[in-house]
Amino acid sequence: MHSALWVVALLLTGSAWAQPATERCKEFLEYGLPSDRGALLCRSGFVLSHDEEKKAPVWVAQRMTPERLVNRVQRSNRFVPDPELPKGKRAELEDYRGSGYDRGHMAPAADMRWSAQAMEESFYLSNMAPQVGPGMNRGIWSEIESLIRTWVAQRGELFIYTGPIFETSKVAKIGPNQVAVPTHFYKVVFDPVRVETIAFVVPNAPHPNRKIDEFITSVRDIEQRTGLNFLNRISPAVQALIEESVAASLW
């Protein structure tokens, strides 16, 4: 294990961020923890921090490689509450039922076809947030996810950070467990070889006639909206350079 991660693990011992969990998650945390808020949940294909108040992720981190683009398993569509979270601190199936919102994946199921376990875990509700369906979850958001897989095939290893944004003083909620409805969603994509980033913020609304490049923003913009700190294990000068820039176009 990298020495820096041992330090993080020791500092976080006694919290939800204890060393064994950090050790299991290390491949996704190579460039740092976006924050230490919430409960750390390690999965085969991603790691996330779960907000027990909002019943949604704070952030989800993936490390995608060309080897993980293989299609070994089919999409499961078996949505279930997260078995590692206690009732009352997690979303349940009934929260989404009749809400008008999709159970929007943060780490996409289509990224998990390389492993049956990874696919199953991607359908835990801890990896979801309420998302508008037509024109968003089943529209522009799906298009962004597909484009990122194309970049993985072309570029190689990429680190992807995804999550909700809540930009309102009164957050809308659904279901008996009061699952919070995001106003926006973000994605940050980092290419560690080229040392480049591209980032997106998409309002949680239908976007039937808009193009992906209209949603490009900077990593710094997302950090200011969320209070997160991405790529904090990169040297400060390089981090500032790649986080403050806005990609001129899609990769």
Catalytic residue among 2, 50, 105, 207: 105
Distance CA 99, CA 55 (A): 15
Distance CA 123, CA 230 (A): 25
DSSP string, 174-194: ETTTTEEPPSEEEEEEEETTT
2: annotated active-site residue: no
Give the CB-side neighbour count of residue 104, counting CA atoms within 13 A. Answer: 35
- Report yes or no: 107 and 185 within 8 Å, Cβ to Cβ: no
Distance CA 47, CA 241 (A): 26
Distance CA 243, CA 240 (A): 5
Distance CA 8, CA 47 (A): 16
- Which whole-number Å values give the CA distances from 89 to 19, 50, 55, in the listed order? 23, 10, 6
Beta-carbon contacts of residue 173 (< 8 Å; ≥ 6 apart): 179, 180, 181
Distance CA 243, CA 158 (A): 16
* Active-site amino acid positions: 105
